[in-house]
Structure 1
Amino acid sequence: MRDLEELLSLVRDRESKKYFEEGIKAYHAGAYRASIVETWVAVALDLISKIRYLSERQDPQAIDFVKHLDNAIQSANKAKLQKIENELLKKARELELLTPREEAELQRLYLDRNVCAHPAFVAPEEVFKPNAEQVRAHLASAVDNVLSLPAVSGRKLIDQFRQEIASDNWPSYSNYNQYVEMRFLNSARHSVKRSIVELVVKTAIEPPDLDSNSAVSSTAVSARARVAINSLALNDPILLNNAIESVIQKRQKAEGLSDTVLLRITGSLGQFQCTWTVLSDSDISRILTLVSTSDTQTLKQNRALVCWPVYHTEIEEKVGEKRSELISTFDGLQHMLKTVTYGRRNLIPAVISQIRYANTFRDAEDRLRDFAKLARESDISSLRDFGKAVRENNQVYLAMNTETILRNICEQTKEIAGVGIVWQEIADGLHEDYLHSGEGTASNEYSYSDFKDFVAAFFNLYHV
């Protein structure tokens, strides 16, 4: 049974909340008819407030509704106002503020409200005497279907998602942090959530056709969708799995899965068991052949290597061979750093190797910056390996900006348990290397004594 105080906390609009709270108080007092009446008042007020919001944003249907409502209010036309109330749920459904199912549930509330508010106008044997369970059901329905939801229609929310994912306003990878969930899903009804998540999946496996004046490329939009998929996998795996199955099945039944789409499915959805469950045996065989016979340029172009590892063992083996070939080169590793969205920590050994063998100061700094891109994916072991690579290559520890970059990496890894000790080891080691380098005391520029002080102060501050 739903907790009524929890339901009250979910009501978004302050004015609607006042009436809903009165409905709860009436329920606790045993005044069940009054509770139903107040609950309907809260729902009607909330829906009209949302329609006014849509009107202010130039929705034609909402503008027309508000115009007729305000005219009826100003002229005190009770017949028109009654008609507007009778058709309020229908209008809300037309504006996509309600689904047909939600409209049906709230219609029961409205009918019960009528017999509760006007018991003298029904036959004596038909006078409605609601019980506690019926009232609680109406209270929960009011919150779930109206009072907890934003004033945005499903269609508009989907359109808004399409616009934002292709705009300059989309957050970068490092600042992503469940953006799709917080911005579009948390307050949306289930049917809208499902549509948006299916759109995310479609966007990942098939880059959208964008206007030539678009702020970002279609491949960048697909990358954003892949990041969203990984976040959804952690926060709502059931919704995501259902969306993946639905999208793939629809494509199979319609135009089928092209070679390009199969490669993109491997890179965008390959980490999920449900992907390989819904794909047919022939599709999986085609993927095996495509990965084995395609050159790395084709695989790069179709983002087939950006998932690490792929859930399917045989395909992961073939993909792994191509990945190893790609990241063995400088340009290939740079490509993977830009495109891998699942399993990025697997790139860390290759980046550390390039740090170890950097042969110029500038190259050393660039490789340190590459590691900084993966810093949040690192752990104690990889940080120790990183520290050894830095110390072993004098092109790294004698580069001008090394200390600045190390501080940045240090800050990014501060949440890793026990990391303060590792950074102390790195800082002490760099200082000892300086003392034994033959530089003497002629220059303190590369002594890393300031970095030692920084590490000591930083991790004392964060109690690590």
Structure 2
Amino acid sequence: MSALVGQGLTDIDSLALAVRDPESKRLVGEALSAYRGGALRSAIVSTWIAVDYDIIAKAKELSAHGDAAATTFVQDIECAIQSRDVKKMQAIESVVLTTANEKLQLFAPHEFEDLSRLQKDRHLCAHPAFASEDALFQPTPELVRTHITHALKHLLVNAPLQGKSAIERFHADLLSPSFPVDEESIGTFVRAKYLDRAKDVMVVNLIKSLLSAPFGREAAQYMGQRHQVARTLREIAKAKTAIYDETAKDHVARKFDAIPDALLLSISAFVECDTRLWEWSPEPTRIRFRRLLQDADAETLKKHSAFDAFAIPELASILVGRFESFEQDVQIGIISQIPRREFITQAIRIYGDASGWRAAEQRGRVLMIPLAPLMNADDVRVMLEAVQENDQIWGASGTSAILETVFDATRSLLAQSRPHWQAFINARMLSSRDASSHYAYPALQQRLAASED
């Protein structure tokens, strides 16, 4: 049998093994047996029976998840069965493919066409009176194999994750408290539950919905979830790169200019996750965005995560200007809530200017600790020099705990930063003349010594 290539499977047997529903697997197995035995008409009829059954099984699965159209369809079937209404059952079966396409949205247009041809050929096989004696339908082995392959690839091996209901379920998961937050877990969750068996059309619609929902009528639901949506979109891009690149580029080019001013700055989180979104945006959108960025106050910038736009060089200069224009207390608030590498230099400068013990402790907690995971070895050096040069900082009782926390957060840098920590400890011990003195930072000494083991 010739190899069939699709969805990572190399032949028709592998496709058959991937059928989700046990009964559908048994039914398509009968079709394969008939095909291999040369009973070609029987093979087509059996293939249609597997399709018919699987559509109903998927409808029941969708109904269990609250899909209204699927529930109505299932109720109609059950009512006809209970009342033994043969005509109604025949009527339902005659349009089952159309129902699956239009109501349940299980198929892409070409898939519906392929399965419609199967249905027509099934009628010719099951009802030979439909054809004249001289034109009795004689399916070829190639045609039968094609029908079986289409049934498997377009329906039987797929989860019912197509259409509007699938998108709604995805967004319900995305906004739920249990949705994962780290990239690896997001990728695993999305692939396993939605992408691994999803058709291309569903992936396309999902990408469009993620690029639209935070900026449309339901934007309020996503106000605190923009980073979650952007990270999720990035994981979909990794799993379905070709589809994402084509779909996102087209959607952004056509739709982003329609985002209202009140929400436009909110694209920043998406731009940070994929800087190409800025390149793909229409020039009028970029002009509007730059103007809004130049005029926005601190609260607006924070509300819309606009500092994520540092990812775009031409926007970084605007953001630096906006940040530097704010009063120092406002800058401290921004840094503490949105720690970024771009703020480290100014944060250390503010910390180094502390004019009292309590101010030094407060600035250390809200500036140095949040920024510590983002520091490099040279940042650690500059910070320690600022501490050493200001007795209001090194003399504050809480500074020891602050530096210990920074040390722990920057352990990965010790190969480069150890000399800076050691120089600071040596200076403090020399100044204190007592290695056990609080102002010689004994706990920090112990951490540094232990790290050499």
TM-score w.r.t. length of structure 1: 0.69
Q: Which residue of 2 aligns with 1:416?
A: none
Q: What is the CA–CA distance in structure 1 between the aligned matches of 2:380 and 2:148, rounded to whole Å?
A: 59
Q: Within the alignment, does 1:11 sit opposite 2:19 as a pair? A: yes
Q: Which residue of 2 aligns with 1:158?
A: 167
Q: Which residue of 1 aligns with 2:400?
A: 399
Q: Which residue of 2 aligns with 1:144?
A: 153
Closer, same or farther in 2 for the Cα pair 1:76/1:274, shift >3 Å? same
In the alignment, which of 180, 189, 198 is matched to residue 199 of structure 2? 189
In the alignment, which of 258, 261, 269 is matched to residue 259 of structure 1? 261
Q: Within the alignment, does 1:279 sit opposite 2:282 as a pair? A: yes
SS in 1 for 2:138: coil
Q: Which residue of 1 aligns with 2:254?
A: 249
Q: Within the alignment, does 1:172 sit opposite 2:165 as a pair? A: no
In the alignment, which of 23, 47, 56 is matched to residue 48 of structure 1? 56
Q: What is the CA–CA distance in structure 2 between the aligned matches of 1:49 and 1:39, rounded to whole Å?
A: 15
SS in 2 for 1:109: helix
Closer, same or farther in 2 for the Cα pair 1:36/1:276, shift >3 Å? same
SS in 1 for 2:139: coil
CA offset digits 1:128-184 (Å, max 9, x no partner): 22233x344334422332223323562222333444444433333567633555554
Q: CA deviation at 1:289?
A: 3.7
Q: Within the alignment, does 1:126 sit opposite 2:136 as a pair? A: yes
Q: Within the alignment, does 1:111 sit opposite 2:111 as a pair? A: no
Q: CA deviation at 1:33?
A: 4.7
8 Å contact from structure 1 (residues 8, 20) kept in 2: yes
SS in 2 for 1:150: coil
Closer, same or farther in 2 for the Cα pair 1:47/1:349, shift >3 Å? farther
SS in 1 for 2:309: coil
Closer, same or farther in 2 for the Cα pair 1:236/1:300, shift >3 Å? same
8 Å contact from structure 2 (residues 307, 319) kept in 1: yes
SS in 2 for 1:399: helix
8 Å contact from structure 2 (residues 252, 277) kept in 1: no
Identity of aligned residues (%): 22
Give the aligned residue type for 1:384.
Answer: A
8 Å contact from structure 2 (residues 35, 144) kept in 1: yes
Q: Which residue of 2 aligns with 1:224?
A: 228
Which sections of structure 2, spanning at least 5 residues, go unmatched? Answer: none
SS in 2 for 1:96: coil
SS in 1 for 2:20: coil
SS in 2 for 1:446: helix
Closer, same or farther in 2 for the Cα pair 1:141/1:151, shift >3 Å? same
Q: What is the CA–CA distance in structure 2 between the aligned matches of 1:334 and 1:316, rounded to whole Å?
A: 19
Q: CA deviation at 1:333?
A: 1.6
In the alignment, which of 434, 439, 446 is matched to residue 443 of structure 2? 446
Q: CA deviation at 1:273?
A: 3.7
Q: What is the CA–CA distance in structure 2 between the aligned matches of 1:66 and 1:353, rounded to whole Å?
A: 68
Q: CA deviation at 1:303?
A: 3.7
Q: What is the CA–CA distance in structure 2 between the aligned matches of 1:33 and 1:453, rounded to whole Å?
A: 79
Q: What is the CA–CA distance in structure 2 between the aligned matches of 1:65 and 1:54, rounded to whole Å?
A: 10
Q: What is the CA–CA distance in structure 2 between the aligned matches of 1:183 and 1:349, rounded to whole Å?
A: 43
Q: CA deviation at 1:279?
A: 0.9
Closer, same or farther in 2 for the Cα pair 1:398/1:369, shift >3 Å? closer
8 Å contact from structure 1 (residues 245, 274) kept in 2: no
Q: What is the CA–CA distance in structure 1 between the aligned matches of 2:32 and 2:343, rounded to whole Å?
A: 56
Larger radius of gyration: 2
TM-score w.r.t. length of structure 2: 0.70
Q: What is the CA–CA distance in structure 1 between the aligned matches of 2:344 and 2:80, rounded to whole Å?
A: 68
Give the aligned residue type for 2:200.
Answer: H
Q: CA deviation at 1:243?
A: 3.8
Structure richer in helix, relative to its length: 2
SS in 1 for 2:165: helix
Q: What is the CA–CA distance in structure 2 between the aligned matches of 1:147 and 1:166, rounded to whole Å?
A: 30
Give the aligned residue type for 1:147.
Answer: L
Closer, same or farther in 2 for the Cα pair 1:345/1:120, shift >3 Å? farther
8 Å contact from structure 1 (residues 327, 333) kept in 2: no
Q: Which residue of 2 aligns with 1:384?
A: 377
Q: What is the CA–CA distance in structure 2 between the aligned matches of 1:323 and 1:173, rounded to whole Å?
A: 29
SS in 1 for 2:224: helix
Q: CA deviation at 1:316?
A: 4.6
Q: What is the CA–CA distance in structure 2 between the aligned matches of 1:109 and 1:26, rounded to whole Å?
A: 16
Q: CA deviation at 1:186?
A: 4.3
Q: Which residue of 2 aligns with 1:336?
A: 338
Closer, same or farther in 2 for the Cα pair 1:42/1:157, shift >3 Å? same
Q: CA deviation at 1:48?
A: 1.5
Closer, same or farther in 2 for the Cα pair 1:163/1:68, shift >3 Å? closer
Give the aligned residue type for 1:7.
Answer: L
8 Å contact from structure 1 (residues 106, 142) kept in 2: yes
8 Å contact from structure 1 (residues 355, 389) kept in 2: no
Closer, same or farther in 2 for the Cα pair 1:98/1:355, shift >3 Å? same
